[in-house]
């Protein structure tokens, strides 16, 4: 386990700008040392804001994107063209332009599986059918991770937002998925998310924490209690983001309001 560090910025804008620059520099460093960088992206307000800042950052043009692979920490199990898809939002906010310019190969974009059903099929499906499809989708993504990264995979940087309830990825308070500790289970389905939409896919804690660096982003006062609870406990199922811990670095990137309750 690495020591958890918190870095605080005066407002969301400076937080998102700094996180974008930090990620671009980290990607450049990884490419220089190992000729490949595997990065886990996150959605949500903070995650998408960081991606928009990457798109406008001058360092964006200095990266050899042909050496970069993009992954997701979680995804909404909805059709591929659904506006709730984290991957769709990320493509529109940032990397779609890199693909269009021929700088980032489409094969390096590792989206989680989408729901292939029609609207009617989704509407009439029962719990058992949804769980079966989620399990299959999680297994498919796990196979892709192992195929790309080997039997003991790890990412270079895994970025996550944190919700007001303390969740990260799609690991929610007191849900069984957050307590998965089997290193062979890398990806899990979530059929009862308390946050819409209810069907999701998520990386598990063992895979997340095998990442070299884990960064957690939070801004605004509505996240302050969650940040305080996460940073004042470790591996607390009531506060899933307290499980976040990279192998060499665990970094919480906050604005003043999100950090207002921690005393850090």
Question: What are 29-87's pLDDT values in tens digits?
Answer: 999 999 999 999 999 999 999 999 999 999 999 999 999 999 999 999 999 999 999 99
All structural domains of the chain, each given as residue ranges with its CATH number in brackets, are: 4-255 (3.40.50.1360)
pLDDT of residue 117: 97
Q: Contact 16/48 with Cβ under 8 angstroms?
A: no
**What angle separates helix 12-34 from helix 44-56, to the nearest 10 degrees?**
70
Give the other-Cβ count within 10 Å of 92's Cβ: 14
> Could you tell me whether strands 187-190 and 68-72 are parallel, antiparallel, or unpaired per DSSP bridges?
unpaired
Give the other-Cβ count within 10 Å of 5's Cβ: 11
> Could you tell me whether strands 200-203 and 187-190 are parallel, antiparallel, or unpaired per DSSP bridges?
antiparallel
Position with higher pLDDT, 262 vs 24: 24
Question: What are 186-197's pLDDT values in tens digits?
Answer: 999 999 999 999
Give the chain's mean pLDDT. Answer: 97
Residue 239 CA to residue 172 CA, distance in Å, equals 8
Kindly state the percentage of the chain with pLDDT values over 90.
97
Residue 47 CA to residue 64 CA, distance in Å, equals 22
pLDDT of residue 236: 98
pLDDT of residue 183: 96
Residue 68 CA to residue 45 CA, distance in Å, equals 23
Does pLDDT of 136 surpass 80? yes
Closest CA to 164 of 53, 41, 257, 264: 257
């Amino acid at each position: 386990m690495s020591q958890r560090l918190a870095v605080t910025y005066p407002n969301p804008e400076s937080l998102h700008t700094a996180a974008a620059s930090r990620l671009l520099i980290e990607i450049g460093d990884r490419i220089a040392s190992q000729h490949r960088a595997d990065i886990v992206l996150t959605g949500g307000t903070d995650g998408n804001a960081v991606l928009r800042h990457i798109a406008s950052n001058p360092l964006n043009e200095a990266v050899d994107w042909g050496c970069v692979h993009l992954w997701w920490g979680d995804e909404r199990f909805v059709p591929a063209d659904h506006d709730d898809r984290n991957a769709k939002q990320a493509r529109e906010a940032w990397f779609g332009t890199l693909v269009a310019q021929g700088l980032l190969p489409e094969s390096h974009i590792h989206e989680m599986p989408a729901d292939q059903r029609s609207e009617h099929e989704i509407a009439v499906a029962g719990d058992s059918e949804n769980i079966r499809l989620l399990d299959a989708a999680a297994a498919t993504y796990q196979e892709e991770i192992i195929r790309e990264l080997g039997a003991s995979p790890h990412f270079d940087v895994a970025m996550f937002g944190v919700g007001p309830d303390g969740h990260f990825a799609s690991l929610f308070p007191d849900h069984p998925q957050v307590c998965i500790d089997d290193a062979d289970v890398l990806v899990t389905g979530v059929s009862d998310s308390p946050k819409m939409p209810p069907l999701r896919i998520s990386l598990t804690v063992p895979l997340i924490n095998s990442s070299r660096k884990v960064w957690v982003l939070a801004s605004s006062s509505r996240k302050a209690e969650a940040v305080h609870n996460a940073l004042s406990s470790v591996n607390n199922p009531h506060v899933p983001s307290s499980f976040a811990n990279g192998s060499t670095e665990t970094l919480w990137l906050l604005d003043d309001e999100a950090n207002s309750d921690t005393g850090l």
